């Protein structure tokens, strides 16, 4: 049982497709296989490409969480992108994977110049002996789920709605790098995060987050923006991790965005800023505490 796609974000629509192949594989005593790419194919055709919702590592972790037996990652190379649609079906789906069932979205396109579609798949399936299932887009609260819509929500800071469409909180992957030390001077030390290359960063503001460090979950309050009260000029991603005191400089972590607390604003002075940070941290602790108590956040791990 096979599906093919970029699957950026592994959102609810993608998950619906993966449930079908996972269930079908059980019924046929076969393997469930997801074919994806190490990058978005549009990178070969466009000067400007949208940022990713998930890194490749996160995407593979989410695919594994769906119970999929095997994920095949195709490199973004011309020989693959320019492969005629018919050749992809016969050589990859049939010869290499012996597909019994191929499950895709109704708007699925593939092959050279995106010439392949569901109609072609069904025609070849009839001749080559595999079934084709086309899954319609899923709507939540009147919104059709797509990676494009989710990406737009994140850029606008609407992390809760993005999480609803994803079926899991958005997670920013990054490395802890040296910062200016301003948070420490204010009494609330922060980890300065360098986001993974090409991954989307939520819009500026203050967020209630949970942070995965060394395989353990911590509550945090994150700020994305320039820090106008302390004279910042370049946008940064910083997080105060409640109760954490270790040195994690250079470490990689994941930061799960659960709720947007407020806009980033200019305060009258440092004391006013400190009072607001204290309030932000208290709010974040309540929000993340409720998720931990419900067993929601503690189950999340993308790698």
Q: Model confidence over 56-74: pLDDT tens digits?
A: 999 999 999 999 999 999 9
Dihedral sign computed on CA atoms, order 279, 280, 281, 282: positive
Task: Please report, for the chain, the start and end positions of each structural domain, with discontinuous segments joined by +.
Answer: 2-140, 169-299
CA–CA distance from 226 to each of 57, 206, 238, 277 (Å)? Answer: 29, 12, 10, 15
- Who contacts 114 (Cβ-Cβ below 8 Å, separation ≥6)? none
d(CA 40, CA 42) in angstroms, rounded, equals 5
Identify which of 5, 6, 9, 29 has the alpha carbon closest to the alpha carbon of residue 170. 9
- The model carries a pTM of 0.90
**Lookup result for tokens 């987050």:** 209
Name 254's Cβ contacts closer than 8 Å, sequence gap at least 6: 58, 171, 172, 173, 211, 212, 301, 302, 303
* Assigned architecture for domain 2-140: 3-Layer(aba) Sandwich (3.40)
209 falls in which pLDDT band (50, 70, 90)?
A: very high
Chain mean position to CA 132: 27
pLDDT score recorded for residue 274? 85
CATH of domain 169-299: 2.40.30.30
pLDDT > 90 fraction of the chain, expressed in percent and rounded = 65
């Amino acid at each position: 049982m096979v599906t093919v796609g970029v699957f950026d974000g592994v959102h609810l629509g993608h998950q619906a497709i993966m449930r079908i192949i996972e269930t079908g594989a059980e019924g046929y005593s076969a393997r469930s296989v997801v074919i994806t790419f190490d990058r978005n194919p549009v990178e070969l055709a466009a000067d400007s490409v949208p940022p990713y919702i998930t890194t490749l590592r996160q995407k593979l972790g989410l695919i594994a969480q769906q119970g999929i037996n095997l994920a095949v990652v195709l490199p973004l190379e011309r020989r693959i992108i320019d492969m005629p649609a018919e050749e992809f079906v016969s050589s990859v789906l049939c010869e290499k994977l012996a597909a019994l069932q191929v499950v895709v979205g109704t708007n699925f396109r593939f092959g050279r110049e995106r010439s392949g579609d569901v109609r072609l798949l069904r025609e070849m399936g009839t001749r080559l002996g595999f079934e084709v299932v086309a899954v319609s887009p899923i709507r939540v609260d009147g919104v059709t789920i797509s990676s494009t819509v989710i990406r737009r929500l994140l850029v606008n800071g609407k992390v809760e709605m993005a999480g609803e469409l994803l079926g899991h909180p958005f997670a920013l992957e990054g490395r802890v790098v040296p910062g200016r030390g301003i948070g420490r001077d204010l009494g609330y030390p922060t980890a300065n995060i360098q986001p993974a290359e090409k991954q989307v960063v939520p819009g500026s503001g203050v967020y209630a987050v949970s942070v995965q460090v060394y395989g353990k979950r911590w509550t945090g309050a994150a700020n994305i923006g320039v820090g106008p009260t302390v004279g910042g000029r370049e946008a940064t991603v910083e997080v105060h991790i409640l109760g954490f005191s270790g040195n994690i400089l250079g470490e990689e972590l994941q930061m799960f965005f659960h709720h947007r607390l407020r806009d980033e604003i200019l305060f009258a002075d440092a004391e006013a800023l400190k009072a607001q940070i204290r309030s932000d941290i208290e709010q974040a602790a309540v929000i993340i505490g409720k998720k931990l108590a419900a067993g929601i956040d503690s189950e999340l791990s993308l790698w």
